[in-house]
């Protein structure tokens, strides 16, 4: 089994030049979307930095980054099970290596419904693009990464209870990060309209409602199941509310409004 996860999208989704990358990430994080506070969880986008880096950085700068982070992300690639926990010992980026936490990984591997496989993680961008922000905001951060595919809410609830128990067993604080973009490839007006339907459910802390509205209105929020799992895990940990922080789309950068992708952020308190 490979123990090092090498960068897959450096030079494409973000610059591979270390000094330039650090400067860009520091710039994105310089003005938090809200006053920084402790949080149970956070949702951030995972597109190329020119499109979503600002939203991602401002959201992560608005929460304290504790010693441990669990990243739940869309499963864009084949391999592994419905919920696949990566087993790499460290994840490399142009800024250096982020260590996986073996104790946290072992606790998560014991949760029913989660299996272990590196297969869906080798070329996946959804976790990788978040890592430089975590490195800049907390250079000593350690992680565990789980890919999440389409999953019934009943299984999400059961798995969330197991993840929460694993979190509570840790000796240090843990932040649960959901990596997700919003609606894909409708025009700008339609994408923003659809996104708001989903974000209303997110703001209401309604995970089953979020899944239902995305299904009913064909909202192609790629990480909706990862986000629902984050929400239910945070609820199990004691969270009581969600703050939607920002909402934008790729057309604001590209000027092309005929087909856009939506980007949003939120924190769970």
Instruction: Categorize the per-residue pLDDT at 138 as very low, low, confident or very high, splitting at 50, 70 and 90.
Output: very high
- For residue 81, the model assigns a pLDDT of 86
**pLDDT per residue over 220-256, tens digit each?**
999 999 999 999 999 999 999 999 999 999 999 999 9
Residue 79's pLDDT is 77
Expressed as residue numbers, the domain containing 201 is 4-268
Task: Tell me how far apart the alpha carbons of residues 44 and 180 are, in angstroms, rounded to a whole number.
Answer: 6
- The percent of residues above 70 in pLDDT, for the chain, comes to 99
pLDDT, average across residues 79-107: 96
pLDDT per residue as tens digits for the range 146-163: 999 988 999 999 999 999
Question: What is the CATH classification number for the domain harbouring 241?
Answer: 3.40.830.10
Could you give the number of structural domains in the chain? 1
pLDDT reading at 1 higher than 60: no
Mean pLDDT for 124-129 is 97
pLDDT band for 75, please (50, 70, 90 cuts). confident
* Average pLDDT of the segment spanning 28-32: 98
Rounded mean pLDDT, 161-181: 98
Indicate the pLDDT class of residue 205, thresholds 50, 70 and 90: very high
SS (H, E, C) the chain: CCCEECCCCECCCECCCHHHHHHHHHHHHCCCCCCCECCCEEEECCCCHHHHHHHHHHHHCCECCCCEEEEEEECCCCCCCCEEECCCCEEEECCEEEEECHHHHHHHHCCCCCEECCHHHCCCCCCHHHHHHHHHHCCCCEEEEEEECCCCHHHHHHHHHHHHHHHHCCCCCEEEEEECCCCEEECHHHHHHHHHHHHHHHHCCCHHHHHHHHHHCCCCCCCHHHHHHHHHHHHHHCCCCEEEEEEEECHHHHCCCCCEEEEEEEEEC
Rounded distance, CA 207 to CA 100, Å?
28
Give the tokens for residue 85.
């926990």
Q: Given a cut of 90, is residue 84 above it in pLDDT?
A: yes
Distance separating alpha carbons of residues 205 and 244, to the nearest angstrom: 10
Res. 212: pLDDT tops 80: yes
pLDDT of residue 76: 83
């Amino acid at each position: 089994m490979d123990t090092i996860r090498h960068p897959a999208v450096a030079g494409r989704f973000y610059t591979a030049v270390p000094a330039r990358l650090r400067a860009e990430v520091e710039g994105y994080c310089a003005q938090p979307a809200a006053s920084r506070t402790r949080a149970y969880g956070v949702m951030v986008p995972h597109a190329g930095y020119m499109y979503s880096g600002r939203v991602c950085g401002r959201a992560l700068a608005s929460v304290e980054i504790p010693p441990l982070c669990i990243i739940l992300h869309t499963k864009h690639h084949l391999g592994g099970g419905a919920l696949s926990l990566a087993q790499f010992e460290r994840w490399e980026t142009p800024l250096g290596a982020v260590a996986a936490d073996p104790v946290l990984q072992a606790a998560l591997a014991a949760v029913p419904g989660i299996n272990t496989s590196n297969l869906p993680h080798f070329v996946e961008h959804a976790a990788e693009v978040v890592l430089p922000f975590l490195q800049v905001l907390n250079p000593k951060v350690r992680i565990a990464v789980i890919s999440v595919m389409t999953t019934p809410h009943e299984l999400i609830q059961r798995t969330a209870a197991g993840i929460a128990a694993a979190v509570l067993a840790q000796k240090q604080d843990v932040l649960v990060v959901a990596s997700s973009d919003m609606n894909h490839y409708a025009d700008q007006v339609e994408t923003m309209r659809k996104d708001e339907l989903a974000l209303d459910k997110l703001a209401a802390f309604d995970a089953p409602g979020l899944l239902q509205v995305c299904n009913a209105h064909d909202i192609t929020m790629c990480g909706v199941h990862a986000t629902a799992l984050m929400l239910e895990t945070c609820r199990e940990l004691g969270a009581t509310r969600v703050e939607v922080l920002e909402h934008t789309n790729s057309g604001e950068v590209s000027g092309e409004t005929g087909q856009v992708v939506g980007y949003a952020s939120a924190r769970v308190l």
